[in-house]
Amino acid sequence: MYRALIAAGTLALSACTALPVTADIPSGPVPSQVPPAIQAELEKLGRVVAPPPTAALYAPLQQKEPYAGVAVTRDERYGPDARHRLDVFTPAAKDGPRPVLVFVHGGAFMGGDKRTGDSPFYDNIMLWAVANGMVGVNMTYRLAPQNQWPAAQQDLAAALRWVRANIVARGGDPERIFLMGHSAGAAHVAQYVGHPEFHVARGGGIAGAIMVSGLFDPSTAEVNPPLQSYFGKDPSKYEAQSALPGMSASKLPMLFAYAELDPSDFHRQAGQVRSALCEAKRCSPLLLLLGHSHMSEIYSINTADHALTDAIRTFVSETPVR
């Protein structure tokens, strides 16, 4: 029953008419490609954010270093802070220019990293990018509560300046940079897109934005310690911090996705961003990934599960240079 209700809701959202501003990707539920054994474990976990047990399910499906045919440069500095670091993934045999996928990890605003130890995450996203004709850039950023809003947006801007200045030498096209975030990372991408004061160039200096299970408006989100750690404890400021007004006014192509087993607040926020953009005649695709959880939708990238990545590949390939 729950699946039927959210599927119907997403399909209803997809019916709104608007000026097309992005690739031709239909909104709505995406059939599950989750392996049955993993699906059973995800359903046992339920609608929670559970990185360690979900990582344990997907790590055996991922590649291990060294990565054949891929050149990896670790910990390039894009700023003065210890967390101002990024990794660059390119084909070992240089070609190009390729579109560039810049990934911004999650972690409840207070944690997370581009990679921890020998974990395959989030190298998996970079490997998928290279295998699909892109250059991958995996960045990290300063964390809350020591660094509150808008620290992460300033860090995204600094990282994008580095990419725009250096990516040609790595076989990337600085005119085709796509910014992708998950969870808190998606919130940071939304904040960057929706607040032009942080933009490094016209349109943010990017060709498009991909946001997976993000929170877009702190004024309507569930108030909890992670949210307060970044946006602060004064709710009177949340409306001004919202990304929605700026996103609704933006002409930037955008792609959104969220998981069936996401906590309810991510469902509400996904519907809210879709409605706001459609109201502004800027409808963007919104995918509901059936069978997936908050973490599996990202940990499954670069496996046989293409539920999310088929749309990302289409989005990158069909979005024109602005």
Q: How far is CA 183 from the centre of its chain?
A: 7
Confidence of residue 150 (pLDDT cuts 50, 70, 90): very high
For 64-76, the pLDDT digits (tens) are: 999 999 999 999 9
pLDDT tens profile 256-279: 999 999 999 999 999 999 999 999
Q: Write down the pTM of the prediction.
A: 0.94
Tell me which residue range forms the domain holding 254. 2-318
Q: How many distinct structural domains can be found in the chain?
A: 1
Phi, psi of 316 (to 5 degrees): -70, -45
> 189: domain CATH number?
3.40.50.1820
The pLDDT value given to residue 22: 58
| Chain position carrying tokens 């990290």 | 140
CA atoms of 190 and 131, how far apart (whole Å): 26
Which residue carries 């990302």 as its tokens?
Answer: 312
